[in-house]
């Protein structure tokens, strides 16, 4: 089975703090994604990466950056956390053209106070 | 108008009953369609893909209506364990980044 691991499940951070959310996948997939999920808004794509050191903005990249130094690891960075970034963050991976299934990590619940 | 829309529910369903709900999409270039299931405070997991001819997986039936631009999910003989939020997912290209998620339909199956 594909495993997508998000290292931090529950975090509470202060406004202005730098926040790192780590994600690791074990299936050698090229594509990795970061979404946030908010009630009534569904999942919204923040950033995605289709290869090491490659990244593309999603629909809501403002206030976020990402890092993909190794194929299996995709990190989401909040440079200066704000209260409107309180959300659940989901990392996902996808096999690309050859696959349809998206595999999600268990989610990281971030509260910014 | 949102690109993918779902009735948020909740749909309150007696155990053993049938429930059905739709998901509408606005982009006619959409190519592939999926239903994901998400339990409370858990990650979404693939329930089933939706094929043009319609498809069935046990008690679950998915249909695609391209002319009216919607997909549907029907659950027969509902079980308590079917209580979840069902997310509609629409894919516009071969690459996985062209995915759009609906807001989800919440289903509550009650004894």
Question: DSSP for B1-59?
Answer: --SEEE----EEEETT--EEEEEEE--TT--EEEEEEE-TTS--EEEEEE-TT-EEETT
Residue of B nearest to A103 (CA): B45
Whether B4 and A42 lie within 8 Å, measured CB to CB: yes
What is the distance between the alpha carbons of residues A13 and A22, in angstroms, rounded to a whole number? 15
Mean pLDDT by 10 residues, chain B (111 residues): 89 98 90 93 92 92 95 98 96 72 95 96
Residue of B nearest to A40 (CA): B103
Whether B32 and A100 lie within 8 Å, measured CB to CB: yes
Give the pLDDT of residue A96.
62
Q: Which of B32, B40, B88, B97 to mutate to test the interface with A (most CBs of A within 10 A)?
A: B97
Nearest to B99, CA basis, from A71, A3, A67, A42: A42
Nearest to B96, CA basis, from A25, A65, A45: A45
Whether B97 and A41 lie within 8 Å, measured CB to CB: no
What are the chain A neighbours of B103 within 8 Å (beta carbons)? 40-42
Please report how many Cα atoms fall inside a 13 Å half-sphere around the Cα of residue A28, on the Cβ side. 0
pLDDT over 90 at A66, yes or no: yes
pLDDT over 90 at A65, yes or no: yes
Whether A43 and B44 lie within 8 Å, measured CB to CB: yes
Nearest to B98, CA basis, from B31, B1, B25: B31
């Amino acid at each position: 089975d594909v495993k997508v691991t998000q290292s931090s499940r529950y975090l509470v951070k202060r406004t202005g703090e730098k926040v790192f959310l780590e994600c690791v996948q074990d299936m050698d997939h090229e594509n990795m994604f970061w979404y946030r999920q908010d009630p009534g808004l569904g999942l919204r794509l923040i950033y995605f990466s289709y290869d090491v050191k490659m990244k593309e903005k999603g629909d809501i990249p403002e206030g976020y950056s990402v890092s993909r130094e190794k194929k299996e690891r995709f990190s989401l960075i909040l440079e200066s956390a704000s209260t409107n970034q309180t959300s659940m963050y989901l990392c996902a991976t996808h096999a690309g053209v050859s696959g349809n299934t998206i595999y999600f990590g268990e989610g990281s619940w971030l509260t910014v106070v | 108008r949102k690109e993918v829309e779902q009735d948020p529910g909740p749909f309150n369903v007696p155990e053993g009953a049938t429930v059905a709900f739709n998901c509408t999409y606005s982009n006619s270039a959409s190519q592939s369609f999926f239903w994901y299931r998400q339990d409370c405070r858990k990650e979404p997991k693939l329930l089933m893909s939706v094929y043009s001819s319609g498809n069935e997986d046990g008690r679950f039936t998915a249909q695609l209506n391209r002319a009216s631009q919607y997909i549907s999910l029907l659950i027969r003989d509902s079980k308590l364990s079917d209580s979840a939020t069902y997310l509609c997912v629409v894919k516009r290209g071969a690459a996985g980044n062209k995915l759009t998620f609906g807001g989800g339909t919440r289903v509550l199956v009650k004894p």
